[in-house]
Chain A
Amino acid sequence: MDLIWDGIREAARLWWAGDREIIEITLRTLAISSSATALALLIGIPLGAVLALRRFWGRGLIVAAVNTGMGMPPVVIGLLVALILWRTGPLGRLDLIYTPTAMVVAQLLLSLPLVVGFSLASIQSVNPRLIGQIWAMGANRWQVLWLLVRETRLGLLAAVMAGFGAAISEVGASMQVGGNLAGETRVLTTATVLETGRGNFEVAIALSLVLVVLAFLVNLALTTVQQRRFVR
């Protein structure tokens, strides 16, 4: 018990003192996971909309792949990205392995199936006659997509939360493609693993608390938007 209390006290002290390393790791974590989530939304929502609205050959296969991807173990994604970005791999020349960009790619691949899956389910739940009405009002393709996103915003915010949650909480892939390099690719999850291994539980607890608070604040903001009754 003492170990835990000491850890929490130390965590509070580190926070209070504004520990430079913790702030740096926190900001890096936010930057990497937000970029990955933003990219996942940019690609995932239109893809989810296409899968929800169009019937084409191979659609079932893609939907099955998306559903599988929603439960894909991060280490498998990490291995895949590492193999591609490895110096001798197909994209080795880009020299991206052990960089924040590689971590964004891995987190993007983890959250993309969640964003696509949630978007697909939300847009598919829209009354098809309403979609017909939107076309009949003279909307072009992008306006239809925009109005559908607006109409299904509650479901799509769930997609944002799921995507961001998957990105910020994963550790395996970030280790594999980021390498947990101090000052470069160390993020909250990988730092927590490292400090736990070293027996520095107070630092590990401090990092974990930052992670939890961060995840909570982001989700609180999204939930507030989601639950506002009428968003204009």
Chain B
Amino acid sequence: MSPQVDAHIAVRDLVVQRGGVTVLEVEALDIPRGQVSALIGPNGAGKSTLLAALQLVLHPARGTLTLDGEPMHADPVRTRRRMAAAFQEALLLNMSVRANVELPLRLRGAPRTRRRELTEYWLERFGIADLASRHAKQLSGGEAQRVSLARAFASQPEVLLLDEPFAGVDAPTREHLIADFAEIVSQTRPTTVLVTHDRDEALRLGDQLALLIDGRVRQVGAPLDVFDRPIDREAASFVGIENILPRASLALAQDAPVGDWLCIRAEQVGLERVGLEGGVGARVLSAKLVSSLMQVELIQDGVTLVAKLPRAAWSQLGVEVGDQVSVRIAPEAIHAIADSRERL
């Protein structure tokens, strides 16, 4: 979006249709060189369609895609040879691990010694050198995904296109894989487009974040910017802001920034015993443990608020469901959205 970025890939006026229905419409999106651009958004938002368009595996109804200023569709095979892709499914061919990793280099006609050298290097980098002679169909999910990523890196791509590459892997394996991937990406710095529906993954790996909703790019920016300052209520809801409240209804909003809707993360809602100075009174509706934090539902002036606090802090508070508490929210923890931003 911003003209000052060194756009490695530029998407302009892109329209993709299926069965005559527009499923993706991107006015302008720049993918900065050497950075990880995370595409996030709810299911069906068009993330994978945009990635497929960048892979040149579908025919857009309209629009241009350029790589280093050159149209990507001019010579699709040549363009694809500057890129590599990995998906949620490892999609390995019926051959050994080594042959799989070497394959893109063979397709590019790389000399044998160079192929071997790069293959061994990337097998080593992804910690799968001991699996090199194993048949691809004999691997676990995590191992297969490592092979898929090693294959993508082995071809030394300028651009890496990744569609939920960590989604199909179990949690502990995933953690290690993401850590290894993050380290390799920070050292090799390919231009990366990462499709994910996992907000934590986007925050952890992304240098730039593009939020897609209903087939359109709703917001682009630095990850923390998008997460803390969503452009509208739908974006706020997707980035996981628990409290999106009409300003008029909230007594706490006196010092809040100007805007018709107020977004407050549950962790930013402070709870104290009644009687202490400041704060606004609210009644506890429910309290339950969610991902090691206590999620407390409160009602204040007819408006429901959600707070999250550590278990120890909740115990220390000594409050039960039905009791009154005092709610305190710092004005800087409130992000306001004007109604004019709403497309509803």
Contacts and interface: CB of A to CB of B under 8 A. Distances in A.
A94 interface: no
A129 B91 contact: yes
Contacts, number: 58
Interface string A122-152: 0000010110111111111001000100110
A20 interface: no
A232 B96 contact: yes
A56 interface: no
Contact of B108 (A135, A138, A230): A138
B80 A151 contact: no
Contact of B107 (A130, A138, A150): A138
Contacts of B81: 138
A139 B104 CA distance: 8
Nearest to A139: B107
A138 B155 contact: yes
A75 B95 CA distance: 43
Which one of A130, A150, A232 has the greatest number of beta carbons of chain B within 10 Å? Answer: A130
B107 A151 contact: no
B83 interface: yes
B289 interface: no
A151 B151 CA distance: 18
B85 interface: yes
Indicate the size class of the contact surface on chain B.
Answer: 20 to 34
B135 interface: yes
Contact of B94 (A129, A138, A151): A151
B103 A137 contact: yes
A229 B78 CA distance: 35
A130 B55 contact: no
Nearest to A154: B94
B87 interface: yes
Contacts of B87: 129, 133
A139 B87 CA distance: 17
Interface string B85-108: 101010101111001000110011
B161 interface: yes
Contacts of B52: 132
Contact of A136 (B83, B89, B99, B108): B83
7 contacts: A136-B80, A137-B103, A138-B77, A138-B81, A140-B77, A140-B107, A232-B96
Given A137-B107, A138-B155, 17 more contacts: A130-B93, A132-B57, A133-B87, A135-B80, A137-B85, A137-B103, A137-B151, A138-B77, A138-B80, A138-B83, A138-B107, A139-B107, A140-B77, A143-B107, A150-B94, A230-B135, A232-B96
Interface of A: 127, 129-130, 132-140, 143, 147, 150-151, 230, 232
Closest 4 CB pairs of A and B: A138-B81, A136-B85, A133-B91, A137-B104
